[in-house]
Structure 1
Amino acid sequence: MNKTLLSIGHGYSAQAVARRLLPQGWRIIGTTRSADKTHEIAASGVEPLIWPGTDLEPLLDQIPNVLVSAGPGAEGDPVLNACETTMTRMAPGLRWVGYLSTTGVYGNHDGGWVDENTALTPATRRGAARMQAESRWRAIPELPLHIFRLAGIYGPGRGPFTKVKEGTARRIIKKDQVFSRIHVDDIAQALTLSLHHPTPGGIYNLCDDDPAPPQDVIAYAAALLGVPAPPEINIEDADMSPMARSFYAESKKVRNDRIKKALGWMPLYPSYRSGLAAILEGYG
């Protein structure tokens, strides 16, 4: 197997994948839009590449595995806008293409369960853009595409601890509000399994086994730190940005049975409780 991966949009989740693959002898080329980030990427053992600004066609001619983390913007999917013709031409020679999407494509279900067979009814612009991007990727003939719909991502450096420590965390209460989450290391584990056992056409939800109200997560983080939980604030009384408020427009619990059965994936952190405890232990 050719152990080379092109990581387009080498951000938080892709970096976790690289930490798993590099010790296994993989070569990873990671793109970034910022020249300021190339030193950080190189220091991790990944070969940095400025993109947009570099022609990806020669790389796609040589690299059989592609991870796409770059999300759609106002103009649509940036990778396909730049490389759709190239991707279509190269598709038969590729081995694995992973696209990181979001469970936001399912929209609001008033706290009910969703799985990969649930109709896509996004309730936000971000979810609608992801749905459109998924459709474009799936339309490329012969592309060995794997779509991963990620729940709310947390992990080292991304979670509630900093805000709780600084006293800026809030427990915003909305009746029956519930979210699913995924630790970044569980994303990396799933993508590594998929790379070793491709299932072209597969669509998988990636989330833990414990969907929960957001205020419970904040309260648990405070308990781990040994500080009082922030006071509860009713959502009608909360001063929130439109972006922050949009996250409360959707309430659902996400099932992960399909990826467990297909790839034998089991979350390292099946609950936010074990995930947050591990992060705190890692902080020392």
Structure 2
Amino acid sequence: MNLFVFGLGYTAQQFIATYRHRFSQVCGTSRTPRKLRIPEETEVEAYRFDGTDHDPRVVEQLARTDAVLVSIPPAGGADPVLEAFSQAIAAAPRLRWVGYLSTVGVYGNADGDWVDETSALNPASDRSRHRIAAERQWLELGQNSPFAVRIFRLAGIYGPGRNALLKVADGTAKRIVKPGQVFNRIHTADIAQVLMASMENPGSGKAVYNVADDEPGPPQDVIAYAAELLGVAPPPEVPFETAEQTPMARAFYEDNKRVRNTRIKTELGVTLRYPTYRHGLDALFEAGEGVG
């Protein structure tokens, strides 16, 4: 199987590091391919795509690919991959699977209630509204096509090199408290296994999956647990109203919901390696994250 990835960022690189051996060839795009820090042994061919201009070899590779993973977000209200490559993707003769990485932010605020893939979309920001528009465009592209289109709505991503242990260790962690606020999270290893399970059984038509852990919880609890693992005092609790935050970080707290992940288990047969943030942080701590 040949894989093409639009956007060789953190999540995509974690997926490739885990499953490179399952593919005959892996190609992808980056704004600055020369600056990518992908180990040479993974044998990934990277091509330039800055959202508008691209290396002409991208189209050549799409004609040879069996699966396309899209991890580039909308820009300026439009999906840059669809703007530049929708025709090439639709015409790719070997293509059987397209996966689009979206966000659970499309559900907006549910006041702490549970949401699933059938729940109404109620985005609180333009960023999430643009995500919804992109999702719909990708699903439309897959209508009456020989390839399946899958939308993956990701919860808060963490994993090696990006987690609460490192924030506590470097002193940047904040324990911001907003009563009643909960979030779901997802370890990159579990994102990877969901994607691989879907690719290996592409099926047909379209589908949407929530990719989240089993236990939504308050963000301050995650920081406190990371501090406990490291054997240090947690940072003091700070009321949300008085906390210094960027506009994007503050907007993140506008969404309060619990995300059901039943479909990835029943339809894709996935058993989460890290069903709670505690499982994930335990494994990262044992791997040396935040230590030394």
Q: State the match for 2:20 in structure 1.
A: 22
Q: Give the distance between the partners of 1:278 and 1:27, measured in 2 at CA.
A: 30
Matched, 1:215 2:216: no
Q: State the match for 2:259 in structure 1.
A: 254
Unaligned regions of 5+ residues in structure 1, if any?
none
Q: State the match for 1:6 in structure 2.
A: 4
Task: Provide Cα deviations, 1:193-251, integer angstroms capped at 9, x if missing partner.
Answer: 11111133121000110110000000000000000111111111111110110110101
Cα displacement (A) at 1:127 = 1.1
Cα displacement (A) at 1:43 = 4.9
Matched, 1:60 2:62: yes
Q: State the match for 2:89 in structure 1.
A: 87
The number of aligned residues is: 281
Secondary structure of the corresponding residue to residue 202 of structure 1: strand
Task: Provide Cα deviations, 1:35-72, integer angstroms capped at 9, x if missing partner.
Answer: 33246364532122222421332222111211111111
What is the percentage of aligned positions where both structures have the same residue?
A: 47
Secondary structure of the corresponding residue to residue 213 of structure 2: coil
* Equivalences for residues 78-157 of structure 1 within 5 A: 78-90=80-92, 93-140=94-141, 141=143, 142=145, 143-157=147-161
Q: Give the distance between the partners of 2:10 and 2:139, measured in 1 at CA.
A: 24
Q: Give the distance between the partners of 2:40 and 2:27, measured in 1 at CA.
A: 10
Task: Provide Cα deviations, 1:141-166, integer angstroms capped at 9, x if missing partner.
Answer: 31420111000000011111222112
Tell me if structure 1 keeps the 8 A contact 2:3–2:23.
no
TM-score by length of 2: 0.92
TM-score by length of 1: 0.94
Q: Give the distance between the partners of 1:157 and 1:47, measured in 2 at CA.
A: 23
Q: CA RMSD in A?
A: 1.6
Tell me if structure 2 keeps the 8 A contact 1:173–1:233.
yes
Tell me if structure 1 keeps the 8 A contact 2:106–2:129.
yes
Q: CA distance change for structure 1 residues 168 and 19 in 2, over 3 Å: closer, same or farther?
A: closer
Q: CA distance change for structure 1 residues 129 and 41 in 2, over 3 Å: closer, same or farther?
A: farther
Q: Give the distance between the partners of 1:244 and 1:111, measured in 2 at CA.
A: 18
Q: Give the distance between the partners of 1:42 and 1:60, measured in 2 at CA.
A: 22
Name the aligned partner's letter for residue 236 of structure 2.
P
Matched, 1:49 2:47: yes
Q: Give the distance between the partners of 1:120 and 1:39, measured in 2 at CA.
A: 36
Q: Give the distance between the partners of 1:265 and 1:104, measured in 2 at CA.
A: 22
Name the aligned partner's letter for residue 187 of structure 1.
I
Tell me if structure 2 keeps the 8 A contact 1:41–1:47.
no
Tell me if structure 2 keeps the 8 A contact 1:42–1:48.
no
Q: CA distance change for structure 1 residues 89 and 156 in 2, over 3 Å: closer, same or farther?
A: same
Cα displacement (A) at 1:28 = 0.6
Cα displacement (A) at 1:280 = 1.2
* Equivalences for residues 148-167 of structure 1 within 5 A: 148-167=152-171
Q: Give the distance between the partners of 1:192 and 1:250, measured in 2 at CA.
A: 29
Q: State the match for 1:275 in structure 2.
A: 280
Matched, 1:227 2:228: no
Q: State the match for 1:69 in structure 2.
A: 71
Secondary structure of the corresponding residue to residue 253 of structure 2: helix
Name the aligned partner's letter for residue 17 of structure 1.
F
Cα displacement (A) at 1:94 = 1.7
Matched, 1:241 2:246: yes
Q: Give the distance between the partners of 2:137 and 2:69, measured in 1 at CA.
A: 16
Q: Give the distance between the partners of 1:40 and 1:78, measured in 2 at CA.
A: 23
Secondary structure of the corresponding residue to residue 241 of structure 2: helix
Cα displacement (A) at 1:126 = 1.7
Secondary structure of the corresponding residue to residue 122 of structure 2: coil
Unaligned regions of 5+ residues in structure 2, if any?
none
Name the aligned partner's letter for residue 106 of structure 1.
Y
Q: Give the distance between the partners of 2:26 and 2:273, measured in 1 at CA.
A: 24
Q: Give the distance between the partners of 2:44 and 2:159, measured in 1 at CA.
A: 20
